[in-house]
């Protein structure tokens, strides 16, 4: 499959940023790290991959959707970290567009089930329907994964660890592979 990976934010848009000098983390850096690891995992599995960005640069939302559409991606995956004013909020969620296709719903279900199964110790915030620009403007099945809450100190420590970033990439790849095998079987 042709898979488009979108590490959210970048450049002057850091996304959420929390912590002090000992555990400071900017969302765009986390998203890029997981995105690059996911690219590697997917290429090892034989997929063709394109990224919206491979460094800390600005790429507007419109350009992200256009790149994926013009390339003719089979799947669009946007990587993010959530944030909330209440620091105890935690968990992982996967977002699909409210008017998504059955294939996008299946992709979201496959990836989120993989995250929920393999990260059972994390709070499962579920599969959500959200009207995010990149989900609305892409023409292929599209999901946006919120890997955890960067605003929660415990979750931020989880997000900062390279082995957890690698695990997230592997788990998302596993969910995409699950979707690809169902897609190939015509399910």
| Domains of the chain with CATH codes | 2-184 (3.40.630.40)
The pLDDT profile of the chain, 187 residues, written as one tens digit per residue, is 999 999 999 999 999 999 998 999 999 999 999 999 999 999 999 999 999 999 999 999 999 999 999 999 999 999 999 999 999 999 999 999 999 999 999 999 999 999 999 999 999 999 999 999 999 999 999 999 999 999 999 999 999 999 999 999 999 999 999 999 988 766 5
- Give the separation between CA 109 and CA 86, rounded to whole angstroms: 27
Q: Is the pTM of this model over 0.85?
A: yes
Cα–Cα distance for residue pair 35/169, rounded to 1 Å: 7
Task: Tell me which residue of 107, 54, 41 sits closest to 76, measured CA to CA.
Answer: 107
**142-149 vs 92-96, strand pairing mode:** antiparallel
40-72 as b/e: b if 16+ CB within 10 A: ebbeeeebebbbbbeeeeebebeebbebbeeee
């Amino acid at each position: 499959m042709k898979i488009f990976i979108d590490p959210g934010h970048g450049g002057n848009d850091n996304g959420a940023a929390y912590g002090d000098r000992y555990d400071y983390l900017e969302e765009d850096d986390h998203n890029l790290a997981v995105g690059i690891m996911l690219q590697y995992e997917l290429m090892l599995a034989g997929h063709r991959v394109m990224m919206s960005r491979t460094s800390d640069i600005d790429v507007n939302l419109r350009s992200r959707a256009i790149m994926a559409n013009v390339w003719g991606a089979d799947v669009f995956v946007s990587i993010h970290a959530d944030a909330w004013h209440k620091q105890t909020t935690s968990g992982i969620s996967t977002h699909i567009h409210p008017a998504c296709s059955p294939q996008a719903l299946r992709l979201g279900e496959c990836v989120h089930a993989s995250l929920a199964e393999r990260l059972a110790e994390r709070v499962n915030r579920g599969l959500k329907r959200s009207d995010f620009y990149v989900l609305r403007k892409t023409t292929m099945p599209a999901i946006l994964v919120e890997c955890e809450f960067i605003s929660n100190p415990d979750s931020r420590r989880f997000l900062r660890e390279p082995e957890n970033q690698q695990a997230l990439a592997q788990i998302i790849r596993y969910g995409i592979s699950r979707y690809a095998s169902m897609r190939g079987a015509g399910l």
